[in-house]
Amino acid sequence: MDAIERTMRTYDQIAEEYCRKTERQGDREFQEKMLDRTLSFLPPSPRIIDLGCGDGRDTQYLQEKGADVVGIDISRGMIDLARKKYTECAFLRSDMRDTVFPNDTFQGAWASTSLSNIPKSEVSRVEKEVYRILEQGSIFCFSFKVGEKEGFEESIVEGFETYQSYYTLEELKRELNLFDVIDSREYPEEIFNNSFMYCWARAK
């Protein structure tokens, strides 16, 4: 079983508790500012994909703001939870490395900390797939844990491990050749002892 499959199986088991633990009010306000910033780069009613959508809270927010949005997640447990919580939104179980969407389907892609679960050796596959399904000039916003290490580590749900890749902005700029980084923002405080960063990149 590879790192992504092992992580997916863990999320299947911990979906509800994981989402409950990450639903802190302060985080939400900042997250919504970051979602609004993403929308500010896009045309009205943009087509957006939420990559690794978890319980779908960002998918729902984007839809509420007028986007035509679909949330995808590799974990069946997460997708089932999202469908239960936000019945009005579209969700699909899918691997972000290989989706069913035709070329140029979306104008925006949003990945809130989901690149963290992708081993560094697989990130260029994600980049190529996201680039393929985005129109030229589209915006890809992703948030990530700042650092350099990667490997399995204890989840915020005790007794479970997920794969975590940490990045620096410089490393991601080097890695993502199909995109130009146009903006970035640090999360103002640590969450669960980690520093987070948001980055906006435009498809070349």
Selected from 3, 14, 22, 123, the binder of ligand SAM by CB under 6 A is: 22
According to the binding rule CB under 6 A, does residue 74 interact with ligand SAM? Answer: yes
According to the binding rule CB under 6 A, does residue 141 interact with ligand SAM? Answer: no
Cα separation values, 84 from 7, 10, 71, 120, 142, Å: 22, 19, 13, 32, 25
Looking at beta carbons only, is 73 or 107 nearer to ligand SAM? Answer: 73
Torsion sign (Cα): 84, 30, 164, 199: positive
The answer to whether 37 and 58 are in contact (CB under 8 A) is no
CB of residue 117 vs ligand SAM: minimum separation in angstroms?
4
Sheet of 68-73, strands arranged across: 90-93, 68-73, 47-51, 106-112, 134-145, 196-203, 179-186
Selected from 37, 65, 85, 97, the binder of ligand SAM by CB under 6 A is: 97
CB of residue 122 vs ligand SAM: minimum separation in angstroms?
8
Q: Which helix (H) or strand (E) holds 72?
A: strand 68-73
Site residue total, ligand SAM (CB under 6 A) = 21
Selected from 38, 63, 107, 113, the binder of ligand SAM by CB under 6 A is: 113
Looking at beta carbons only, is 126 or 201 nearer to ligand SAM? Answer: 126
According to the binding rule CB under 6 A, does residue 198 interact with ligand SAM? Answer: no
According to the binding rule CB under 6 A, does residue 99 interact with ligand SAM? Answer: no
Looking at beta carbons only, is 96 or 203 nearer to ligand SAM? Answer: 96
According to the binding rule CB under 6 A, does residue 150 interact with ligand SAM? Answer: no
According to the binding rule CB under 6 A, does residue 164 interact with ligand SAM? Answer: no
Q: Please return the burial class of 190, using the count of CB atoms within 10 Å of its CB with bins 0-12, 13-18 and 19+.
A: exposed
Cα separation values, 147 from 71, 166, 180, Å: 27, 5, 21
Looking at beta carbons only, is 75 or 138 nearer to ligand SAM? Answer: 75
According to the binding rule CB under 6 A, does residue 78 interact with ligand SAM? Answer: yes
**Residue written as token pair 């899918």:** 94
- Spatial separation of the C-alpha atoms in residues 117 and 18, rounded to whole Å: 14
Structure tokens that stand for 193 in this block: 């002892």
Q: Which residues bind ligand SAM (CB under 6 A)?
A: 4, 7-8, 11, 22, 52-54, 72-75, 78, 95-97, 112-114, 116-117
